[in-house]
Amino acid sequence: MPRNFTLLFFLLGILCCTLSAQNTNALTGYIVTKNNYHLTGSIGLIEHTQYGSMVEFINDFGTPYFLHPALIKGFVFFEGPAVTAYESKYYRNSWMYLRLLYAGDNISLLQTPETMVKYEWFNGELIAHDKKIVQYWVDLPGDRILPLKKLGFRRQMKRLMSDNAPRLSRLIGKKGYRFKDLYTILEAYDKECAKGKRRL
C-alpha cells in the first residue's frame, strides 16, 4: 500500500470515533458507487488533508463509514432546496473529492474543499491545523482535470480553448471575459463546442 494511503488510514483510525461522536450535522444524501448505484443515507464530515480526502457516510441503518475517493464516484447531499455534489478525482498520484460548481457537456468547474486540515507531529502529539484554501479545477472530456489559477488565468484559458473555440479564446482577458467572469466563459465555451458537434 502506498505510504500516503497508509498514513491517511492511520490518522483516520485515530480520529474516527472522536469525529463521529462530535458530528451532529450530517445531511441527508447518497453516495454513488463505482457501478453507478446510489446508496442513501447521510453525509457527515468531509475531510481534506495533505494526504488526501475522506468523507463520512452514514447508511440508513446508522452505521458510519469513512470512504476514500478511490472507492466511490462521488456523493451528494441536500441542504433545504440546495443540492451539493462532490466527485472523486485523481490527479498526479493523489485522489481527492472536488465540489461540482458548474457541469457542462464539454467542460465542468470543480473546487477543492475550502478548508484543508494539516496534520503534524509536535512533541509526540498529533496536531491538526486548519488552513483556508481556494483552488478551482476544470474537468474536460476524458476525465482530465487541470488546476485553474488566477495567476496566469488568461494564458491558460486561451490555450485550453484555442482548438474548440478560437473566437472565444481571443476574448479571454478582455472586459467580461476575465477570471471573475469564469461561469460566463465556461457557458460560452460549452455552447461553442456544441455548435462544432452539430456541424459534424
pLDDT tier, 114 (very low <50, low <70, confident <90, very high otherwise): confident
Q: Is the pLDDT of residue 11 over 70?
A: no
Taking all residues of the chain, what is their mean pLDDT, rounded to a whole number? 84
Q: What contacts 193, CB < 8 A, 6 or more positions away? A: 105, 106, 107, 164, 165
* For range 139-161, the mean pLDDT: 91
Q: Is the pLDDT of residue 21 over 60?
A: no
Rounded alpha-carbon distances, angstroms, from residue 1 to 4, 6, 140, 172, 198: 8, 6, 29, 44, 47
